[in-house]
Structure 1
Amino acid sequence: MKLKNTEEFLNFCCEMGRQLIQNGAEIYRVEDSINHLMDAYGYQDTEVFAIPASVILNILEDGHNYTKAIRIRTSFINLDKLEKLNSLCRQVCRETPAPAEAMERLRSIAQASGYPQWSGYLAHGFVAVFFTLFWGGRLFDACFAFACGIAVKAATGSLSRMNTNIFFTYVCASMAMVLPPLALVYLGVPVQMDKIVIGAIMLLVPGIAITNVVRDVLAGDFLTALTKFAEVLIISMALALGIAIPVGLARLLLGVA
């Protein structure tokens, strides 16, 4: 029974780590949360190693090593689920329920439905509107930036469901964002294309990832920092390429400046 409980607890801790990383938690938070869980259940000789793509746990119990590693392929930012996961972690540490019961609570959070799809489109549209105004655009420009924000949401949502890689996703999303203002300029509509593009591109700029890179460097998690920094560079190149392709073709073929 001890063996079974230890393995169930190991499965719970790994799944907790997976859910934390997939919903945008920092690596130090993942390792710290799992360490608190292990301490609460009385496991003393433990090791936790987490990077954005994997979590590895080991428990030494009665001379036996119980080890599990999981692979994490996708991640996104969901602060609502992240707050619920943090609350569950504190609750489990305080109450120490059976691992099977704790796993059921975790699954209920993981399987809970998120915000309705229409709210995501509206949020993307209004964020593009706000940043267009923030960077000096007119209200007239902000109205068209709303459509660009919706285009970004449609592109990223469709491609994420197809499990495309991050580089292709951001290239396509940035191209979808640039095409509406390019079409307006070609039709002679007096919009400030640069303000619209700058406002809408803020939806794709990896600001949280950049912040986490700095945080990981200061914490000494250099491997995690290098991994996230590589992701930031890939996204940056994808954004530049996704904007340059339609703009360059429009100037070459249509004479749109």
Structure 2
Amino acid sequence: MIEGGSEMYRVDDTMRRIAVNGGAQDALVFTTPTGIFIGLGNESKTLLSPIDKRSIDMEKVAQVNQLSRSFAAHELGLHELHEALHHLDQNTPFFPFWLQVLAAGVCSTMLMVVFAQAYDWFDMPLAAVVGALGFIAYAKISPLTRVRFISELGGAFVVGVTAWAGVKLGVGRNLDNVIIGAVMPLVPGVAITNSIRDMLAGHLLSGIARGMEALLSAAAIGVGIALIFRFF
């Protein structure tokens, strides 16, 4: 669930429910964005599991919730739940890459209209193409580095370069509108929202950590765009 971008209080609640329904009434759970800890009452055993990667995958979060409910309803046994969770982790259904790129293009166009507060029909096709190219760059760079912010900086830089080139070639008119719309698929909106929700739920450590992660992501995007205005 953490790898899929879930809120920490939801992870806590799901782990406790599974433990209670599995017979561990006094389970102790502690979660952070980089690891989860669970202990079983007076027993000296504690399980630690690190979280090496995090992204946004609401399908995985929803499926884990469904499996937890099925276990609580005694539709699954503990061993069956473990096998189902392992299978889900290895075979999470996901949209094909071409559809993600298409969605990024549509999202860029629609959000350009929202933020520009005008139907800029001439710039819409360019915003769609630029947003799609920026998302492709982000997706291709991500597996090549362990530093998450490098991929966001690279994606934003591609957005800036292609938007600037499109306007110079005459296929777009308003550079600001195109960039505002095209950069939105890279913005960590879910991370910002979950950070606030975690802090409101009392998970201050997780909320602050995710908030800093979101701010660094936004800063990387800003640097990628700023480079274009600085040198072009």
TM over 0.5: yes
- Indicate if the aligned counterparts of 1:121 and 1:153 stay in contact, CA closer than 8 A: yes
Among residues 16, 22, 28, which one is paired with 1:47 in the alignment? Answer: 28
Q: Secondary structure of 1:68's match?
A: strand
Among residues 47, 51, 60, which one is paired with 1:72 in the alignment? Answer: 51
- Indicate if the aligned counterparts of 1:54 and 1:70 stay in contact, CA closer than 8 A: yes
**Structure 2 residue identity aligned to 1:54:** G
TM-score after normalising by structure 1: 0.84
Q: Secondary structure of 1:75's match?
A: coil
Matched residue, 2:96 = 116
- Indicate if the aligned counterparts of 2:126 and 2:172 stay in contact, CA closer than 8 A: no
Matches of 2:230 and 2:28, distance apart in 1: 52
Matched residue, 1:138 = 120
Give the C-alpha shift of residue 81 in structure 1.
Answer: 2.1
Matches of 2:77 and 2:94, distance apart in 1: 27
Which ranges of structure 2 fall in alignment gaps of 5 or more residues?
A: none
TM-score after normalising by structure 2: 0.92
Matches of 2:28 and 2:134, distance apart in 1: 41
Matches of 1:120 and 1:159, distance apart in 2: 16
Specify the structure having the higher radius of gyration (Cα).
Answer: 1
Matched residue, 1:90 = 69
Matched residue, 1:16 = none
RMSD: 1.7
Deviation sequence 1:214-250 (CA, Å, 0-9, x none): 2122111110111011102211211111001122111
Deviation sequence 1:11-62 (CA, Å, 0-9, x none): xxxxxxxxx11111100000000101111111122110001111011113xx
Matches of 2:119 and 2:79, distance apart in 1: 55
Give the C-alpha shift of residue 188 in structure 1.
Answer: 4.5
The reply on whether 1:220 has 2:202 as its aligned counterpart is: yes
**Larger RCO (alpha carbons 8 Å, 6+ apart):** 2
**Structure 2 residue identity aligned to 1:122:** L
Q: Secondary structure of 1:138's match?
A: coil
Deviation sequence 1:136-181 (CA, Å, 0-9, x none): 3511201001111211221121122224312211110100111112
Matches of 1:190 and 1:90, distance apart in 2: 51
**Inter-CA distance 121–190: structure 2 relative to 1 (3 Å threshold):** closer
Matches of 1:244 and 1:178, distance apart in 2: 8
Give the C-alpha shift of residue 97 in structure 1.
Answer: 4.2
Runs of 4+ in 1 over 4 A off after TM superposition: none
